[in-house]
Amino acid sequence: MSQAAATALLVAATVLAAWLAISYARYRAIYRYCDEDIDEARADAAKRSRSVRGGKAAEQLTPLFPEFADRFDSHDARFLGAPVDYVVFDGLSRGVLEEVVLLEIKTGSSRLTPNEREVELALKEGRVRYEVLRLN
């Protein structure tokens, strides 16, 4: 093979490799995910959904758990759901209100949401009041 033919072959191979790289990059830009990625994402979404539903169920059933019963009377608790899960009027069922507790229920490794953190901060800073609204 002559030097010119070898050079031409090298140039052709380089152009082909560049074309393949650009084509693959374009393909990946258009079709960002493969079937495995989509299956993985669906499985992860289903797992997260089960976790969230389990947490929501646990929130509703909290007064039945020993962790709650050891600290509060279930008759004193009122479920809100958001931005806090319960308002507990500790002692009200016995006729002596000791304190009002805003209670957030968490399961597993879940963390406070930004809104829940804001409520916690408002309570810590004393930005709380009692108000009566009279309707005609």
Q: What is the pLDDT of residues 96-132, one digit of tens each?
A: 999 999 999 888 888 999 999 999 999 999 999 999 9
Q: Is 95 left (phi over 0), alpha (psi -120 to 50) or beta?
A: left
Contacts of 101 (CB under 8 A, 6+ apart): 72, 86, 87, 88, 90
Distances in Å between the Cα of 133 and the Cα atoms of 6, 130, 136 are: 91, 10, 10
Res. 31: pLDDT tops 90: no
Q: Is the peptide bond before 83 cis (omega within 30 degrees of 0)?
A: yes
pLDDT of res. 93: 93
| Mean pLDDT computed over 56-63 | 83
Render pLDDT for 61-106 as a digit per residue (tens, 0 to 9).
Answer: 888 889 999 999 999 999 998 899 999 999 999 999 999 999 998 8
Which comes out higher in pLDDT, residue 75 or 31?
75
| Mean pLDDT computed over 4-18 | 88
pLDDT of res. 57: 81
pLDDT of res. 110: 83
pLDDT of res. 74: 92
